[in-house]
Amino acid sequence: MRLQSYLAGRWQDGSGPGSALVDPVTGATVAVASGDGLDLAEALAYARDTGGPALRAMSFAERAKLLADIAAVLVENRDRYAEIALQNSGNTAGDAAFDIDGGIGTLKYYAGLGRKLGDARTLVEASSDQLTKDEAFRAIHLWTPVQGVAVHINAFNFPSWGLWEKAAVSLLAGVPFLAKPATATAWLSYEMVKDVVAKAGAPAGAISLLCGGGRDLMDRLRPGDVVAFTGSADTALLLRSNPNVLAANIRFNVEADSLNLCCLGPDVALDSALFGLFLREVGRELTVKAGQKCTAIRRVLVPRERLAAVAEALSAELAKIRVGDPRDPEVRMGPLVSKSQQAAAWEGLDKLAAEGRIIVGGNRDYAPPGVTADQACFFPPTLLVCEAPGQARAVHEVEVFGPVATLIPYASAAEAAALGLKGGGSLVASVFSGDAGFAAGFAAAIGPAHGRVLIVNEAVGKSQSGHGVVMPQCVHGGPGRAGGGEELGGLRGLRLYSQRTAVQGDQAILAALIEGSATVAL
């Protein structure tokens, strides 16, 4: 199969042999994609000139219906998508559901938001401000959709959720998008967009897809365009350092590397229900998607006096995980997506092992029963212990994008917070504690370095959404190493695709603007 791109309102094939997409269990090629020779300037212009005006002419309620229609198309084809995720990403049924249903759920959530905004086409912030002694002279802040195109560059690990969580916000804001999925797992994105283009009734130019290399994509952007990027920090730096991106002041949102942590509070008894929740959460985050999640737990902070007991309990938790070919319904963890990702994970583990000791996994010749190690891309669940985290560097700087985490002991709440901050900026942290003082103090102390903090006690233990689950109601992103970006967060997500304009004037005239807009309270 050769994947095509949907650009300038038509399906197109890139030139040359292209790049192979493989089954990470068998090593067999499942598809080929090439972006070479495609006219990206034409594609972006078509989105700006055709898709943009069409979307801006629609009300929020009409855009919401489009999102709901897209979600309905995806639901209709869900089983086929799960099979593609198995073949191209090595996903178990649970992994595929996490990705596919995450995309569908986010579309539905933003469709619901759009319906509440009604017939308006712009947003206005709830408050107005008096500017002088004259009470009639005031200012409001108006949000209008940018008049460019949104370029969505997505990582290999979430070809569904990564595509649709960005698309949902962009389309609701009234901005057309061009999605560039990572080539290695682009088959699922391709099939989804193909179905949506055929059945969802999106305006011409609202949706574009580029399968294969982007080449000169950054060179073709113009003022008013937006880039939303998910991937490695090195690639993000390369793209946003592009001379054209800098000269045109392109709005550029980045979600990059992240050394997310989970902290066990000193109050948690080892025989408590809360400790059981902690073990299951760490085990789940280590193995869902084979640890290939930007929100996965990489550092596990535990009270120093309980380090040995926690290490033993987590080792037992990981021993329950059956790793292998996801075609086996009993398997709970599949392979990494490619040989290059497998090699990068081994390289990263070597750096971590230089500062700690491996207590689970870490064997390079690992292969599940019935699998050929030379062809497959498996990596065993691996747990390390770093006894001296205050002097270590790699554990706070190297993210192994796979099923690898490090136990880190702390002696006090202050030391736990200091170690949390050493990650240099992360997407999410979680703390398991029934001590409100410890949990609140820890969350406040590490807040400046984290985009989200999840606090779990027994009261919410069964209902909480999970450390690694990105809820569309909450902002997603993080400072520093995590990219400095922010997306989702309900209506907050529309800010990336909107120009916020302070409008000053007579209160009576401003009232007309307010009347024609939907109000947003932030």
- Residue numbers annotated as active site: 255, 294
Residues 121-154: b if buried by 16+ CB within 10 A, e if exposed: bbbbbeebeeeeeeeeebebbbbbbbbbbbbbbb
Residues 6+ apart with CB under 8 A from 6: 12, 193, 194, 197, 207, 208, 209
Report the sign of the C-alpha dihedral through residues 297, 302, 307, 309, in that order: negative
Which of 66, 30, 218, 56 has the alpha carbon at shortest distance from 143?
Answer: 56
**Could you give the CA distance from residue 197 to residue 194 in angstroms, rounded to a whole number?**
5
Judge whether 249 and 499 are in contact, CB under 8 Å: no
**Could you give the CA distance from residue 95 to residue 333 in angstroms, rounded to a whole number?**
8
Neighbours of 54 (CB within 10 A): 16
**Could you give the CA distance from residue 21 to residue 24 in angstroms, rounded to a whole number?**
9
- For tokens 């820890």, name the residue: 442
**Could you give the CA distance from residue 448 to residue 307 in angstroms, rounded to a whole number?**
27
**Could you give the CA distance from residue 263 to residue 412 in angstroms, rounded to a whole number?**
12
Q: The tokens of 42 are what? A: 């034409």
At residue 139, what are phi and psi to the nearest 5 degrees?
-135, 140
E strands, 43-133, are 123-125, 129-130
DSSP 256: -
Residues 6+ apart with CB under 8 A from 156: 89, 181, 182, 184, 185, 292, 337, 338, 341
**Could you give the CA distance from residue 491 to residue 513 in angstroms, rounded to a whole number?**
19
Judge whether 458 and 481 are in contact, CB under 8 Å: no
**Could you give the CA distance from residue 20 to residue 29 in angstroms, rounded to a whole number?**
6
At residue 456, what are phi and psi to the nearest 5 degrees?
-120, 125
E strands, 380-520, are 382-385, 404-410, 426-432, 450-456, 475-476, 487-488, 498-506, 518-520
